[in-house]
C-alpha cells in the first residue's frame, strides 16, 4: 500500500531533464563564431566538425549539411539513384526517409520490419529485390542498429548499395563499429530532438570516394571540389546544402558530451527493463550481443494488453510520464498519394505492401522519451513502478 501511495504522485517536468542540454561552453562557442566573421559557406567550424565526426564514427569522409532530410537526398543522388530506380525501405520510420527517395525520383519499396525491434526484417528485404533495386536503406530505429550482417550479405549478392539512415543512432555500435560506418554511406540528422544536436543540421558519411565527391559537389551548388575559380572544374546540378557555423560551433561542444550521455541513457533504460520484464501486457525488445553500444534516442516497447494502447498512454501521461505512440505505417499516409509524389517519381503509388509486423507496431508501440532516460535513477525506478501498476490495472 505504501508503494501505491508513493507512485500515485504525478511526475512534473522537473523530474525529467530538459533537452537540449548546454552550458557556458556552447555560449562561448557561439560568441567565437559570431566574432570570427565567417558565418557560413564552408566555414572553419563546419569543416572541423566534419573531420571530428568522421574520426568519431570511423569513416574517411563526412560532409556537413543543413538537415538530415537533405543528407538523405544528397546520399541517394551521390549513388546515382533517380527515376526508374527502386529503394527498399522500412515503412516504420520518419517521413523524411521515404520523402527523400521520392524527391530524387525513385520509388520506395516497403519491406517489413521485425516486430520486436522496428528494424528491417532481412527476409522481407530479400523478397523485395528486383532488377530495378538500386539500394537498401536501413533505418536504425530508436538508435538500435539493424542486422547489418544479414543486410550486407543481401546487398552484396544483389549488387546494390546498402545505406544507413542513422538519424537515431549517433554513438550506437554494431559489433564494435559505429553506426554510420557500416554500409556504403550514411545520413545523420542533428535536429533538436536528436542525441547529437545543433538545433538543425545533418551529415553524409562514407568511405566511398566517388560517393563523397559527388555528394560534395551536390551540396556546394554543383561546384567542383578543386577548381580554378568560382565555378572552376566540373559543375553539376547542385543545391546549397552547406552547414552554418552556428550549428557546427554547437555540435563541436555537443560531441564532447555524446558518449557519456549515451552511457547514462543506456543505464536508465536498463532500470526500466529490469522492472518491466515479465509484466503482463508489455513486450520488451530483445537483447542482441552484436549491439555493443546504444545511443538511447528513445526506449521502445509494445503494449498488447486487453485495453487499447490509447488508454494505456493516457494513464501514463496523466501521471506525467513522457511517453507517446510509435510511428504509423507510412504507406497509409497521404504523402504517397499526393500529387507531389507522382510529379517527382513519374508514377502513382499503387503498391499494397504486406507488412504485418509494421501494422502490429503501429498499433502497439510505446516510446519512452530518450532525454527522460537521463533522469535521476530514483526517478526512473519510480517511473518503472508506475508503468507496471498501470499495466497490471489494464491487462
DSSP type of residue 327:
P
Give dist(CA 136, CA 150) in Å, integer: 12
Sign of CA dihedral 67, 68, 73, 76: positive
Per-residue tens of pLDDT for the chain, all 395 residues:
334 444 455 899 899 999 999 999 999 999 999 999 999 999 999 999 999 999 999 999 999 999 999 999 999 999 999 999 999 999 999 999 999 999 999 999 999 999 999 999 999 999 999 999 999 999 999 999 999 999 999 999 999 999 999 999 999 999 999 999 999 999 999 999 999 999 999 999 999 999 999 999 999 999 877 754 566 566 778 999 999 999 999 999 999 999 999 999 999 999 999 999 999 999 999 999 999 999 999 999 999 999 999 999 999 999 999 999 999 999 999 999 999 999 999 999 998 899 999 999 999 999 999 999 999 999 999 999 999 999 999 99
Q: What sign does the CA torsion over 84, 87, 88, 90 have?
A: negative
Instruction: State the DSSP H helix or E strand holding residue 283, giving kind and residue range, or none if neither.
Output: strand 282-283
The C-alpha atoms of residue 3 and residue 19 are separated, in whole angstroms, by 30
Distances (CA, A) of 171 to 37, 140, 262, 362: 32, 12, 7, 26
**What is the C-alpha separation between 19 and 37, in angstroms, rounded?**
29
87 CB-near residues (< 8 Å, 6+ apart): 76, 81, 101, 106, 107, 108, 109, 133, 134, 135, 136, 137
Q: Would you state the pLDDT for residue 227?
A: 58
- Strand 173-174's sheet: what is its strand order? 177-178, 173-174, 291-293
Give yes or no for a contact between 344 and 102, defined as CB atoms under 8 angstroms apart: yes
Give buried/exposed letters for 367-392 (b at 16+ CB in 10 A, else e).
bbbbbbbbbeeebbebbbbbbbbbbe
Domain definitions of the chain by residue range: 24-255
**pLDDT of 5:** 43
For residue 334, count CB atoms less than 10 angstroms from its CB and return exposed for 0-12, middle for 13-18, buried for 19 or more: exposed
- What pTM was computed for the model? 0.95
Q: Exposed e or buried b for every residue in 299-312, given b needs 16+ CB within 10 A?
A: bbbbbebebebeeb
Tens-place pLDDT, residues 248-261: 999 999 999 999 99
What's 242's DSSP letter? B
CATH code matching the domain that covers 24-255, chosen among 3.40.80.10, 3.40.640.10, 3.30.43.10, 2.60.40.1260? 3.40.640.10
- pLDDT score, position 24: 98
| Beta pairing partners, 86 | 107, 133
Q: What is the pLDDT of residue 271?
A: 98
277: nearest Cα among 144, 388, 392? 388
pLDDT at 8: 54
Could you tell me how far CA 26 lies from the centroid of its own chain? 24
d(CA 318, CA 275) in angstroms, rounded, equals: 20
E-strand stretches of 113-176: 133-139, 161-165, 173-174
Instruction: Provide Rg for the chain, Cα atoms.
Output: 22
pLDDT at site 1: 35
**DSSP code per residue over 61-118:** EEEEES-HHHHHHHHHHHTT--TT-EEEE-SSS-HHHHHHHHHTTPEEEEPPB-TTT-
Amino acid at each position: 500500500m505504501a508503494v501505491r501511495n508513493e507512485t500515485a504522485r504525478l511526475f512534473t517536468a522537473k523530474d525529467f531533464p530538459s533537452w537540449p542540454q548546454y552550458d557556458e561552453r556552447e555560449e562561448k562557442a557561439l560568441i567565437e563564431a559570431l566574432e570570427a566573421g565567417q558565418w557560413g559557406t564552408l566555414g572553419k567550424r563546419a569543416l572541423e566538425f566534419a573531420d571530428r565526426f568522421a574520426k568519431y564514427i570511423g569513416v574517411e569522409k563526412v560532409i556537413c549539411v543543413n538537415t538530415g532530410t537533405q543528407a538523405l537526398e544528397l546520399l541517394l543522388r551521390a549513388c546515382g539513384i533517380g527515376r526508374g530506380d527502386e529503394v527498399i525501405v522500412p515503412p516504420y520510420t520518419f517521413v523524411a526517409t521515404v520523402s527523400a527517395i521520392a524527391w530524387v525520383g525513385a520509388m520506395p519499396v516497403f519491406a517489413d520490419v521485425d516486430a520486436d525491434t522496428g528494424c528491417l526484417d532481412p527476409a522481407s528485404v530479400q523478397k523485395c529485390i528486383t532488377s530495378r533495386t538500386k539500394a537498401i536503406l536501413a533505418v536504425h530505429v530508436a538508435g538500435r542498429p539493424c542486422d547489418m550482417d544479414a543486410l550486407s550479405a543481401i546487398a552484396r549478392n544483389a549488387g546494390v548499395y546498402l545505406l544507413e539512415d542513422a538519424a537515431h543512432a549517433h554513438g550506437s555500435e554494431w559489433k564494435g563499429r559505429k553506426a554510420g560506418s557500416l554500409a556504403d554511406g550514411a545520413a545523420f540528422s542533428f535536429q533538436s530532438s536528436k542525441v547529437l544536436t545543433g538545433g538543425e543540421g545533418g551529415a553524409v558519411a562514407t568511405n566511398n570516394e566517388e560517393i563523397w565527391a559527388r555528394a560534395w559537389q551536390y551540396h556546394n551548388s554543383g561546384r567542383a571540389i578543386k577548381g580554378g575559380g568560382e565555378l572552376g572544374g566540373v559543375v553539376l546540378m547542385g543545391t546549397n546544402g552547406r552547414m552554418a557555423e552556428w550549428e557546427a560551433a554547437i555540435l563541436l561542444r555537443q560531441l564532447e558530451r555524446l558518449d557519456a550521455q549515451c552511457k547514462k541513457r543506456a543505464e536508465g533504460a536498463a532500470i526500466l527493463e529490469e522492472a518491466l520484464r515479465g509484466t503482463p501486457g508489455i513486450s520488451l525488445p530483445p537483447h542482441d550481443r552484436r549491439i555493443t553500444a546504444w545511443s538511447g534516442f528513445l526506449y521502445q516497447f509494445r503494449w498488447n494488453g486487453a485495453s487499447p494502447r490509447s488508454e494505456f498512454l493516457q494513464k501514463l501521461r496523466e501521471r506525467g510520464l513522457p511517453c507517446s505512440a510509435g510511428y504509423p505505417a507510412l504507406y497509409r499516409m497521404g504523402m504517397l498519394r499526393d500529387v507531389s509524389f507522382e510529379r517527382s517519381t513519374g508514377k502513382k503509388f499503387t503498391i499494397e505492401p504486406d507488412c504485418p509486423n509494421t501494422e502490429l507496431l503501429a498499433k502497439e508501440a510505446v516510446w519512452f522519451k530518450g532525454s527522460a532516460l537521463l533522469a535521476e535513477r530514483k526517478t526512473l525506478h519510480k517511473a518503472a513502478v508506475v508503468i507496471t501498476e498501470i499495466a497490471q490495472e489494464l491487462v
